[in-house]
Structure 1
Amino acid sequence: MTQTTANTRRGGGTDRGFDDLGRLMSLMTGAEKHGPAATSTLDALWVLYDRVLRVTPETADDPDRDRFLLSKGHGPMAYYAVLAAKGFFPEELLTGFGGYDSPLGHHPDRVLVPGAEIGSGSLGHGLPLAVGTALGLRLQGRADSRVWVLVGDAELDEGSNHEAIAHAGPAGLEALHALVIDNDSATHGWPGGIASRFEAAGWSAVTVDGRDHEALHAAYTMAHPGRPHAVVARVEPKPDEGEPKVS
């Protein structure tokens, strides 16, 4: 598998790279019950922020920025590590993770976490919010602003996601991108595979190795004129640790 190991300096003002993420995640020592949910997203989040998303700490309030919505909000350590690596907040905040006085809660809060677009943790809301965001940007004429949302495979069991998928395809929301982390957590599963569900609703969709950085980048940047785009990132199955199956 190919991995990016150096920051491409897309305006984040930091020299931290992918190899620093393990150290940054190790700083978050608070009680956390969703470790596998976090590590499953690490590579996909890094490639997205390092090589694709057009947003930096300096442009976080720019109305023409790209938007990233973390729907899979539990187990946010990888998300926080990537935001810190990209300079959205100082890494010193990571050591307080989950503490009473820390802005970095077990579920991200958009009014507390610099760079966070939504508060999340209650599953099933992120994709509908992303659809609404893409529709709003279209009405504003912001054709260059892209919307990305990260969801888990189990989260797709929620009916709100089915409705969002069904609407976005016929609406031709080209600005909308869904990143699905598939670690075999879904209770019901998707006959024919996750990508086939999006394709049936008029989306462009591709399935890739969620640890292969070059494959992720190629999938993220595929042309999909007139259609929303879904990238299904397959990672190792979540270990059975007696936890509920939550994305």
Structure 2
Amino acid sequence: MSQPATLLVIDDEPQIRKFLRISLASQGYTVLEAASGSEGLAQAALNKPDLVVLDLGLPDMDGQQVLRELREWSTVPVMVLSVRASEVQKVDALDGGANDYVTKPFGIQEFLARVRALLRHNPQAEVAQSSSAQFGALLVDFAYRKVSLDGVEVALTRKEYALLAQLAAHPGRVITQQQLLKDIWGPTHVQDTHYLRIVVGHLRQKLGDDPTAPRFLITEAGVGYRLVAPEGR
């Protein structure tokens, strides 16, 4: 018998969380809750939900930022649930990695149908995420957005972390320059490869990674970059 799906609701309104908790639990789902963006990101990393329901108006960070940070390491389906009804907001969320967008107020039957649709189209292999990745002496902690080398935390800029997290989420796999530029800088920057070279250079310096004999970050000339796969993979 399969396990019931686990859904994470990230919303700062207690009444909305209660309504969704009761409605989703009545359908047999396991429901996790978070009242802020940072709490939601930590819950997503530690509990590996099958689907995230995300409000955009959160007290500590905008939901669009939560979505961007989540997409640096996770492919979990995300349904945005927001009072923001403008086309621009919807397009931004969907371009940012959301799988669906529902505006408040909403009908619960339609909402549940959309949940079922997202879960049907979510291969279980895509959900199997880890909250961290180890590459020898290098540890990338997705839950807390921290990187350490030989047990010592390495201070990275947002772009440096985003690049490393993207590669660490796909160990041993080449990620193209265009894909990295699109995911980190946006679709209008897919030709700006000099941005990528600068960030890669800074990242290598901070990791003490010699480009002529790299321990971690491998350049695939003219194609992209990859992190060496951990032993045993």
Q: Does the alignment reach a TM-score above 0.5? A: no
User: Comparing both structures, which one devotes a greater share of its residues to strand?
Assistant: 2
Q: Which has the higher contact order (CA 8 A, sep 6+)?
A: 1
Q: Which band: TM-score by shorter chain?
A: 0.3 to 0.5
Please identify the structure whose Cα radius of gyration is greater: 2
